[in-house]
Amino acid sequence: MKRTALSFLLALVSTAMLQAQETTFTLMTYNIYHGEKAYEEGAQNLQEIAQLIKEIKPDFVALQEVDSMTQRTAAIYNNQPVNLVQELAEQTGMHGFFAKAIEYSNGGYGEGLLSRQPAKMTKVDLPIPEGGEGRAMALASYQLESGKQITFGATHLCHQYDANRIAQTKAIVAHMDKIPGATIVAGDLNFSPDSNPYPIIEKDFIDAAATYGNPKPTIPYDNPKSRIDYVWLSKNAHWEITEVKVLPVDFSDHMPVVVTVRIKE
C-alpha cells in the first residue's frame, strides 16, 4: 500500500514538473496600413486594432507598415503626427519598439513590435541588393522561467524585388541562427509558399499555419487569395501548435494572423 502511494505521489510530481516546463504563447502579426483603414480613406484604425489586441491578449505582436511621427499620420489623426507603436503600446498596456527602416514624410516608416513582458529590444537592418525601400527586423528577447531565452522577430520584406526577398530571408535566418534559445519570425514577408524565399526559411523554421493545417489566405481582406503573412517557429525548440487563426477584420487590407503555441522548456 505504501509503495503504491509513493508511486502515485512520484507520478504526480513528475506530471507537475512536465507541466511546469511548458509555456504557452499567443503570437500575432498584422500589417496595419500606416494607421489608416484601407477601405475608408482618411479613417483612423488604431482604436480598433488596439481593442482587437486587448481581446486576443497576445504575448508578442509583429506590426508592419508602421509610421512614426509622419505627416501622413498627421493627415489622419487630427493634424497631429503619431508614433503608431507607442500609441498601441499605451492603449494595450504592452511594451513597444519601433524599428525604423526609412525616413518618410518628415518622420519614420518601418516595423513595430509589442511584447507583453519587458524585453531587450533591438533592430537589424536587412539587405536591399536591388535597391528599393529599406527594410528592417525588430527583435525582442527575454528569459523564460527555466532560464532559457526566447526571441521574437518582427519584419516586413521587400514588395518589389525577389532578389531582395531572397537576400533578406537569408539574412534573417543567419541572424536568428546565432541567437541562443527558441526564436520566432513573424510578419508580412511578401512571398507565397511556392516562391523562392520560402524553402530558405523552411530549412530552419516551421511554418505554423501550414503545420497546423488548412492555411488560409491573409490578403486582401475583400477578396482573400494570397498567403504572405506568417509566423515561423525555430526548429531548435519543441513546439506544439494549438491554434492558428486568420481574423476576418477589415481595419487593413491584410488580415491578422494569430498563432497559439506551447513550448517545452
What residue ranges do the domains of the chain occupy? 23-264
C-alpha cell, 16: 507537475
128-132 long-range Cβ contacts below 8 angstroms, 24+ apart: 128/158, 128/164, 128/167, 128/168, 129/163, 129/164, 129/167, 130/158, 130/160, 130/161, 130/163, 130/164, 131/161, 132/158, 132/160, 132/161, 132/164
Q: What is the pLDDT of residues 185-218, one digit of tens each?
A: 999 999 999 999 999 999 999 999 999 999 999 9
pTM of the complete model: 0.92
Report the C-alpha gap between 231 and 95 in whole angstroms.
20
- Number of neighbours of residue 213 by Cβ within 10 angstroms: 8
- pLDDT (tens digit, 9 = 90+) per residue, 228-265? 999 999 999 999 999 999 999 999 999 999 999 999 97
Phi, psi of 168 (to 5 degrees): -70, -40
Mean pLDDT estimate for the chain = 94
Q: What is the pLDDT of residue 4?
A: 53
Residue 265 has a pLDDT of 79
pLDDT of 120 above 80: yes
Inter-residue contact 154 to 122 (CB < 8 Å): no
Q: Look at the block and give the residue holding cell 488596439.
A: 50
Residue 116's pLDDT is what? 98
Does residue 9 carry a pLDDT above 50?
A: no
CATH number given to 23-264: 3.60.10.10
Place 2 in a pLDDT band, splitting at 50, 70 and 90.
very low
- pLDDT tens profile 155-168: 999 999 999 999 99
Report pLDDT digits (tens) over 28-62: 999 999 999 999 999 999 999 999 999 999 999 99
Q: What integer pLDDT is reported at residue 155 of this predicted model?
A: 99
pLDDT digits (tens, 9 = 90+) for 220-229: 999 999 999 9
Q: CA distances (Å), 141 to each of 45, 112, 144, 217, in order?
A: 28, 14, 10, 29
Per-residue pLDDT tens digits for 53-82: 999 999 999 999 999 999 999 999 999 999
pLDDT at 10: 47
Give the Cα separation of 40 and 30 in Å (integer).
18
The string of pLDDT tens digits covering residues 84-106 is 999 999 999 999 999 999 999 99
Give which of 150, 186, 143, 179 is closest to 263, Cα–Cα: 150
